[in-house]
Amino acid sequence: MFLIVIAVPFLCALCISLFHRFIFGKEFFSIFSSLVVVFFNFSLVLSFLEGNSFNFELIEVFPNVGLSFHIEPIGLVFSSIASLLWFVNSIYSIGYLRGNSEQNQTRFYAYVSLSIFAVMGIAFASNLFTFFLFYELLTFLTYPLVTHNGSSNAKQGGKTYLGILLFTSICFLLLAICITYSFADTLDFTKGGILPTGLSNIEITILLLIFCFGVGKAALFPFHSWLPAAMVAPTPVSALLHAVAVVKAGVFGIIKIIVYVFGLDYLQGISAVSILTVLAGFTIIFASYKAMKSTNLKQRLAFSTVSQLSYITMAASLATPLAVAAAIFHLVSHAFGKITLFFAAGSIYTALHKTEIKEMRGIFYQMPITMICFALGAFSMIGLPPTVGLLSKWFIITGAVDAQDFFVLSILILSTILNASYFLPIIYDAFLRKPLGYEMYGEKKESKEFYHYRYLGNSEAPVFILLAICCTTTGILLISFLAEYISYFLNYLGV
* pLDDT value at 454 more than 50: no
- What is the model's pLDDT at position 484? 59
- What is the model's pLDDT at position 399? 85
pLDDT band for position 344 (50/70/90)? very high
- What is the model's pLDDT at position 434? 76
This prediction has a pTM of: 0.90
> Angle, nearest 10°, between helix axes 321-352 and 463-479?
160
- What is the model's pLDDT at position 254? 93
* pLDDT value at 487 more than 80: no
| Alpha helix (H) residue ranges in 50-124 | 73-99, 105-124
> What mean pLDDT is predicted for residues 238-259?
87
* pLDDT value at 441 more than 50: no
> What mean pLDDT is predicted for residues 6-28?
82
pLDDT digits (tens, 9 = 90+) for 196-216: 888 888 888 889 999 999 998
pLDDT band for position 447 (50/70/90)? very low
pLDDT digits (tens, 9 = 90+) for 286-323: 999 999 999 999 999 999 999 999 999 999 988 888 88
Q: Is the peptide bond before 425 cis (omega within 30 degrees of 0)?
A: no
- What is the model's pLDDT at position 57? 81
| Alpha helix (H) residue ranges in 318-387 | 321-352, 368-382
DSSP readout, 34-51? Answer: HHHHHHHHHHHHHHHHTT
**Which among 176, 107, 169, 93 has a CA at the least distance from the CA of 137?**
169
Quote the percentage of the chain above a pLDDT of 70. 91
* pLDDT value at 89 more than 60: yes
pLDDT digits (tens, 9 = 90+) for 138-186: 999 999 988 887 778 888 888 898 899 999 999 999 999 999 998 888 8
Mean per-residue pLDDT over the chain, rounded: 85
- What is the model's pLDDT at position 428? 92
- What is the model's pLDDT at position 99? 80
Distance CA 385, CA 78 (A): 25
Task: Say whether 56 sits in a helix, a strand or coil.
Answer: strand
Distance CA 278, CA 276 (A): 5
* pLDDT value at 248 more than 70: yes
More confident residue, 215 or 493: 215
Distance CA 40, CA 59 (A): 24
pLDDT digits (tens, 9 = 90+) for 96-137: 888 877 777 888 889 999 999 999 999 999 999 999 999 999
- What is the model's pLDDT at position 45? 85
187-191, 231-235, 382-386: the lowest-pLDDT one: 231-235
- Calculated CA dihedral for residues 64, 207, 253, 116, nearest 10 degrees: -70
Q: Which helix (H) or strand (E) holds 359?
A: none
More confident residue, 68 or 269: 68
Distance CA 129, CA 470 (A): 39
- What is the model's pLDDT at position 320? 85
127's CB contacts (< 8 A; 6+ apart) are 65, 66, 68, 186, 187, 188, 189
